[in-house]
Amino acid sequence: MTKKIRIAIQKSGRLQEQSVKLLKECGLSFSNGPNRLKASCYSFPAEILFLRDDDIPQYVEDGVADVGIVGENVYIEKQKEISVIEKLDFSKCRLSIAIPREKEYGGPQSLNGKKIATSYPNIVRQYLKEQNIEADIHEISGSVEIAPGIGLAEAIVDIVSTGSTLLSNGLKEVETVMKSEAILVSTKTLDPEIQLLLEKLIFRIKAVNTAKN
Ligand code: ATP
Ligand code: ZN
């Protein structure tokens, strides 16, 4: 029996549609109903696993999936032993610092002694260290943008694309911590047969993305 490459993609959310679209453009056809966890491809020896994006780096590190599609932000935050194979040119966004609109911003140093709410504690810790800032990180898993309004934090670090969520929560973006886009990640050491399948897949991804640009 020929081996199949196991590809993990987001089950639902901002990466899902484009991940499916890219794989289909690469000639991997599969059906993805809303409650499916797994799908086999008809036209390529691959199996698609539908997972929470935040769990994908762990699954890839553990080798439960051979490759996965995640945001660079999640890849950096999770600090797993996995390799970045290819940037995919979608789900572009940035992780930014935002503060209440009416507050004056005095540069990164003005965050000294402040509370910062975020879902990305590792990335924020690293940024603060680089900038030589001592601040309190409050990790929250969702709705980070409401933290300043309810007195939980003086600033937030969160994903921004257009800025409209910040605006509607009375916040303004003052600093970019990192830029992000969807990336293909893989297990550090792959089975040689799977490696060949991955090379085929990368070749197709490159062809698809070159045709777009
Ligand atoms: P959950 O896991 O709870 O569903 P999440 O924030 O992790 O929520 P999404 O909102 O689906 O999941 O975001 C998935 C990824 O898509 C993010 O990690 C980021 O890389 C990217 N992303 C998030 N928001 C945007 C956006 N507004 N524009 C473009 N890309 C985004
Ligand atoms: Zn997520």
Instruction: Residue 26: name the closest of 199, 213, 193 by CA.
Output: 199
Superfamily classification of domain 93-180: Periplasmic binding protein-like II (3.40.190.10)
CATH topology of domain 5-91+181-212: D-Maltodextrin-Binding Protein; domain 2 (3.40.190)
Pick the ligand that lies closest to the CA of residue 91: 1
Q: Taking a C-beta distance cutoff of 8 angstroms, is the pair 102, 96 a contact? A: no
Q: What is the pLDDT of residue 46?
A: 98
Q: What is the pLDDT of residue 212?
A: 85
pLDDT digits (tens, 9 = 90+) for 123-148: 999 999 999 999 999 999 999 999 99
Amino acid 49 reads L
Residue ranges in the chain modelled with pLDDT below 70: 1
13 Cα: distance to centroid of ligand 1 (angstroms): 7
19 CB within 6 A, ligand 1? no
Structure tokens at 83: 């390799």
Q: Which residues contact 15 (CB under 8 A, 6 or more apart)?
A: 9, 53, 69, 70, 71, 90, 91, 182
Q: What is the pLDDT of residue 190?
A: 96
Question: What's this model's pTM, rounded to 2 decimal places?
Answer: 0.95
| Residue of 16, 139, 159 to test ligand 1 pocket, by largest number of atoms within 8 Å of CB | 159
Nearest residue (by CA) to ligand 1, atom 8, is 13
Delimit the domains of the chain by residue range. Answer: 5-91+181-212, 93-180
Instruction: Residue 19: name the closest of 55, 70, 59 by CA.
Output: 70
Nearest residue (by CA) to ligand 1, atom 13, is 14
Instruction: Residue 61: name the closest of 73, 79, 46, 88 by CA.
Output: 79
Q: What angle do CA 93, 95, 99 make, to 5 degrees?
A: 125
Nearest residue (by CA) to ligand 1, atom 21, is 91
Q: What is the pLDDT of residue 126?
A: 98
pLDDT digits (tens, 9 = 90+) for 184-210: 999 999 999 999 999 999 999 999 999
Q: What is the pLDDT of residue 213?
A: 79
Q: What is the pLDDT of residue 28?
A: 96
Pick the ligand that lies closest to the CA of residue 143: 1
Q: What is the pLDDT of residue 34?
A: 73
68 CB within 6 A, ligand 1? no
| Residue of 12, 51, 53 to test ligand 1 pocket, by largest number of atoms within 8 Å of CB | 53
